[in-house]
């Protein structure tokens, strides 16, 4: 297998854990905050979590493919 140029790919398990933590923060923000604008941080947190989960799944698929 030829060497890849650039950074090494991220650890998929780390990305998946970070994604789950972001989603958990989104649920905590949705339930725990009393402000009327609590949907804004909750949607942001869940969206970031989904991005990290997608990155972790892609990294996992690349690792299995190589």
Task: Dump pLDDT digits (tens) for 34-55.
Answer: 888 889 999 999 999 999 999 9
**What average pLDDT does this structure show over 55-66?**
82
Are the C-beta atoms of residues 13 and 57 closer than 8 Å to each other?
no
**How many whole angstroms separate alpha carbon 34 and alpha carbon 18?**
25
Write out pLDDT tens, residues 18-27.
Answer: 999 999 999 9
Read off the pTM.
Answer: 0.80
Is the pLDDT confidence value at 2 over 70?
no
- Total domains in the chain come to 1
Are the C-beta atoms of residues 47 and 3 closer than 8 Å to each other?
no
Q: Is 60 part of a structural domain of the chain?
A: yes
Are the C-beta atoms of residues 66 and 12 closer than 8 Å to each other?
no
Q: Is 3 part of a structural domain of the chain?
A: no
Q: Which domain holds residue 41?
A: 19-65
The closest of 45, 56, 52, 38 to 23, measured between CA atoms, is 45
Q: Is 11 part of a structural domain of the chain?
A: no
Q: How many CA atoms are closer than 13 Å to the CA of 13, on its beta-carbon side?
A: 0
């Amino acid at each position: 297998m030829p060497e890849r140029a650039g950074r090494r790919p991220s650890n998929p398990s780390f990305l998946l854990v970070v994604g789950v933590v972001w989603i958990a923060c989104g649920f905590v923000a949705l339930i725990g905050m009393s402000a009327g604008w609590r949907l804004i941080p909750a949607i942001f947190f869940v969206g970031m979590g989904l991005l990290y989960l997608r990155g972790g799944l892609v990294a996992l698929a690349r690792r299995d493919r190589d």
